[in-house]
A = this chain, B = another copy of it.
């Protein structure tokens, strides 16, 4: 893409600091250009900004040592998990040291009786779920990418299962984190509830590495449901599909997944995943529970869909069919990009109260009538959350500018409807411009918290909140 790179004064580590870091990490401290370049980039269209060095830490104590050494020189420290963020969260806007936590990949404990697990920050959700195989439990949060648990906590990730199982806000029970001065804290104990003091867990979840570096995560697990059933159903219009979603939620059906794909997404998915679904606005459903309860949920939803013209339910009850269905859903992003070879994706993300969802989507569709850049719409609509993926030609700055305008109008629309500029992708530096409109005076309070916990602004500077 050709958007202007961010230019901020660099705060690069001195040779003495690099030497001290090497004494701690040996060969796990690197200043190689390619490695730095790779660590300043996430999966989004946002311009990359490489750090000056990458530190591969293996323990919380090593993280604390790195932070303390960098703090002494006021050099930025940017935490890095799998680099799958979407708003430039890992860009080293002022240079500094990238702290790659992917080597902190141990599952530390699983407590089946308490339905929780504690892992190091670099463990990915798929690794954890493989580890849990045969335990009867699973970790339900599923943002699509096989992200690290540390990164998912730091960005308050959610995804397809959030409508039933919540987001990382609900799933993280406790964290170990290194603060800007090198202090190591445990935010909370493992009891399911506590009224003992400020909720530091909640404060760190979603703080994108700007208040502390998350090194261990204790998450709640869910029981693998006795029965699972999934279905795909096309609708005559986006509005008909969205109205079905709204009524499903309002009827209190504890649907596990309820995902919307527009006609373009369905065309993309059919081509990419060699499927033959109807190329119409479509809902993907999944139901969890006892066999009787799953059947009851499915019947209720089928009746609601029927009232909105959605009658053609294709059921997938075998695990392999379901995997194929959800893999297709997760591949929708790449499938969309394949519709325009050579294009780069600009994924956007807003979330509104569910009562406003039909209005927000309908007005957005109308606005996009004039858009010259192809796009597809997908959504975790049970949460009121939806995404557009614009397939931008990276050689054409006019397309970037055009999409910026549509994106800004969509965010403004969501905020005006009492919604948020991001349901799950986070702020990074890509959405900082919307924070004032969304939060008003509260943004100043966020800045107060940032200044108190990171007075020299070394933790992922230039993200979330201007200080």
Structural contact, B194 and A351, CB atoms closer than 8 A: yes
Measured CB to CB, the closest approach of chain B to A22, in angstroms, equals 28
Chain A, 266-307, contact with B by CB distance < 8 Å: what is the 0/1 string? Answer: 000000000000000000000000101100100000000000
Q: How far is the CA of A449 from the CA of B190 in the complex (A)?
A: 23
Q: How far is the CA of A434 from the CA of B196 in the complex (A)?
A: 9
Q: Which chain A residues (425-457) contact chain B, with CB distance < 8 Å?
A: 425-427, 431, 434-435, 438-446, 448-453
Structural contact, A420 and B189, CB atoms closer than 8 A: yes
Q: Which chain A residues (235-254) contact chain B, with CB distance < 8 Å?
A: 246, 249-252
Copies of this chain, complex-wide, total 2
Report the nearest B residue to A385, measured CB to CB.
B193
Stretch at the interface among A177-185, A327-335, A368-376: A177-185
Contacts of A207 in B (CB 8 A): 198
Q: How far is the CA of A421 from the CA of B446 in the complex (A)?
A: 29
Stretch at the interface among A29-37, A98-106, A111-119: A111-119
Q: Which chain A residues (154-171) contact chain B, with CB distance < 8 Å?
A: 155-158, 162, 167, 169-170
Contacts of A449 in B (CB 8 A): 198, 203, 449, 452-453
Report the nearest B residue to A199, measured CB to CB.
B202
Measured CB to CB, the closest approach of chain B to A461, in angstroms, equals 16
Quick check: is A213 within 8 A (CB to CB) of the other chain? no
Measured CB to CB, the closest approach of chain B to A45, in angstroms, equals 18
Quick check: is A133 within 8 A (CB to CB) of the other chain? no
Quick check: is A341 within 8 A (CB to CB) of the other chain? no
Quick check: is A52 within 8 A (CB to CB) of the other chain? no
Quick check: is A83 within 8 A (CB to CB) of the other chain? no
Q: How far is the CA of A450 from the CA of B439 in the complex (A)?
A: 21
Q: How far is the CA of A179 from the CA of B443 in the complex (A)?
A: 13
Structural contact, A421 and B384, CB atoms closer than 8 A: no
Contacts of A446 in B (CB 8 A): 197-198, 200
Report the nearest B residue to A450, measured CB to CB.
B198
Structural contact, B200 and A351, CB atoms closer than 8 A: no
Structural contact, B202 and A438, CB atoms closer than 8 A: no
Quick check: is A424 within 8 A (CB to CB) of the other chain? yes
Contacts of A445 in B (CB 8 A): 179, 183, 185, 200, 453
| 9 nearest A-B pairs in the assembled complex, by CB-CB distance | A202-B202, A452-B452, A113-B355, A194-B420, A223-B252, A185-B442, A191-B351, A195-B426, A114-B353
In the complex, besides A114-B354, A197-B464, 13 extra interface pairs with C-beta distance below 8 angstroms are: A113-B250, A115-B250, A156-B199, A158-B193, A191-B383, A192-B351, A192-B385, A194-B422, A196-B438, A197-B446, A199-B206, A292-B292, A448-B453
Q: What are 24 contact pairs spanning A and B, CB under 8 A?
A: A113-B355, A114-B355, A115-B249, A156-B199, A158-B193, A162-B193, A185-B441, A189-B415, A189-B420, A189-B438, A190-B353, A190-B418, A190-B419, A191-B353, A193-B351, A193-B423, A195-B423, A196-B427, A196-B431, A196-B434, A198-B446, A203-B203, A223-B250, A293-B296
